[in-house]
Structure 1
Amino acid sequence: MQDAYIQKGCSCLGFGNYHLNQNKIDSAQHYYNNSLNHFKDKEHPCKIEALIGLGNLNASQKNYSEAQKFYDFALKSFDQNHFPDILSELYKKIAELKISQGIATEAKHYSDLYLKTNKELNDQMKKERDFVLNEAMKEEKIKYNLEAKKTKQTTLIIISLLVIITAIIIYLLKKSKSKNQETIKITENLIKEKEIREQETHKLKQQINEAFDEVIQLAKDNNPSFYTRFHEVYPKFQSKMLQLNENLKPSELTFAAYVYLGFSTKEIADYTFKASKTIENNRYNFRKKINLSPEKDLQIWLRNYIDSE
């Protein structure tokens, strides 16, 4: 019940942003205030963004003192909360407000804070992405080593069989020279089959690598056929996700595919032409739908769940 109440407050925030973009000031102010009423004494990123929204609204109307008041309220919320992406955007808005007022010194101060916070956010996102990629590479290396071990064992078995067969052939040759031609033919066929198997193995690995590169490029291009191709390359992905929640939408499955491939929130936002906050909301709603606890990393968990037998 409480989650639904909070979600309604966030929905009001979204309506407020929409109406502000449409320059419908009264409607925007109505929804921002409704959003704040849903939170009251509760701390939530949507509450902070509603305060920033009211600041933006007043700034657009050149009510600079009122805008600063709401920005200050938003700043106080960060004393007990840590939302670096929202804080970075707030510093940027205050810097723009100071520029509009002609207060160059304070504008530079907040602009510097924006650049610093944005850099720290990007560094953290890069660190998280690198960690996930390193973990994925470790898993791929383990799989590769296991496959190489199996291939080596298979090769040793084949070689052993060839040695045994060759010994038998030599024995048969000594017993009967008349069967010489037939024995040579058997040996040639065995060698040819071994070469064919090696060629097929190499071709299969090459196809897998090419398919992965193709899916990554389709994702970066925001190509409509991305998820269809992704499903072809990873056929068990959709069925396993629907086992978690059969009501998952195609858009949510597509988002999960981006996360599974190792893309960060910023990269998904850039490639799909959406705001980072929208992707954060998608991530938050998706985690709820699959009942994933907050302490677990979504991408690592997806990798382990989908790739497990």
Structure 2
Amino acid sequence: MNKLLIIWLLGMNVLILGQDPQRHRIDSLLKAGTFELRKEGRFDDAVVLNKQLIKQAQEINYMEGEVWGNANLGNLLCTLNRHEESMKYLIIAEEKLGGIENYFLKAKIYGEYARNYYVLGFFEKSVENYNKAIGFALKIKNRKIQENELNYFYLNKGVAFMEKEMSHPDSAFIYLKKAYLLQPTPIIGANIAGYYMRFKKDYDSAAFYLDVAMKNYEAGNFPIYQKSIILKKLGSLHFHKKEYEKALEYYNESLKISEKIHKSKDIKELYKLISKTYKKLDNKEQSGDYLEKYTTLNDSLNNANHKTADILVNKYVKEKEKENEQKYSGIYSVFTVILALIIAGALSGYAYYRKNKKEKDILLSKHQETIVEKDLENTQLRQKVNTAFNELVQMAKDNNPEFVTRFREVYPELCQSLLELYPDINNETLKFCALLKLNFSTKDIAEYTFITPRAVQMRKNRLRKRLNIPSEEDLYVWISKVE
């Protein structure tokens, strides 16, 4: 990191001794210092700065400053596709904040949880956390801070809808427009342009928003990352217009920025777009080279995200356990109070015996009702599992791109066990295991994955070898027992 910048950021007001001025200085650096480094694409330097600020906050027992620093690290590491680290810092931030009523920090933490969930394919959890973030942001009293946070959450939620919920693109447009009305930043304009290209085939509107976005970028003080998004969308615009040479120019400009700031997810996407463009230009060699780069980076990112998916699943389980504890603690409290009253009544004499017995009967009746309700819940849960099973079968038959993501949501324990047995498992192998779990025959797998039955059998043999499954054991029986 630039030594002069470090000296300025960490040495500012070094003679200040009062606790409030120190907190004010830390807040200023958490916000302005981090922004300046992000703007230049210096994410690693921003990580170093926030770790230093967390230590300073700890030294003066400034809990909210410490939480803010951890939330910033969650944001920066998510941007760098280091999702496992990102989630760990966000969990620390959430635990340290505890019951402190700071809506800004709560919104920030849930917003970054949502980003991680989205990138890793947990779309429903992403939307759930964006909704929480928006709810807390609406409670922020400072209007400017509230608008900044809402702008960020609306944008990201809109992008999530646009990329993941293909059947409801209007939801994406609603949130993108909400964000644009608050602050028409270049990145929002670029994503609205992407919406018009992808869903409306309206290239004139897309060109308009991209033109405005580039002018806003050049006139304002925005992170260089936003320019890379504008350039990528301009490349797509020229691709749709069949101006492939021009598309390549913009894609390559965007790629240079993404490589400079280590945006792996965008680099991966640009490799694929450049490969498609070279294919249109009938340059098979270059198209193949970039497709290979895309595949290699995609597999690398998928493998790196497996551990993070485990953290997300564990966090989800803990949240459900906590919800259940809170739900039933109230029942147990009521039970304890009633029981105490019964005992006290019994001690008061035989005159109250019948009355107390009646109360016990009522209590037992309620307890039996609770058992019946639990049985009903279990029945409903089994019905949901059956529904989810049928849904997955249909998704597999339709070759739905969301099949693997949905399978992970329905069978998290199975996916976890497969990951432990096969640490470098990729999406294709996981999809193959999912089809086995759903009892697809060799013929069915061949039909719905567009390969030959012989190729399916070869995959089964490779899977047996990799997981040391005895030849005498039926593969379908084996996978049904994996938990």
TM bracket, shorter-chain basis: 0.3 to 0.5
**How does the TM-score come out when normalised to structure 2?**
0.33
* Larger relative contact order (CA 8 Å, sep ≥ 6): 1
**How does the TM-score come out when normalised to structure 1?**
0.47
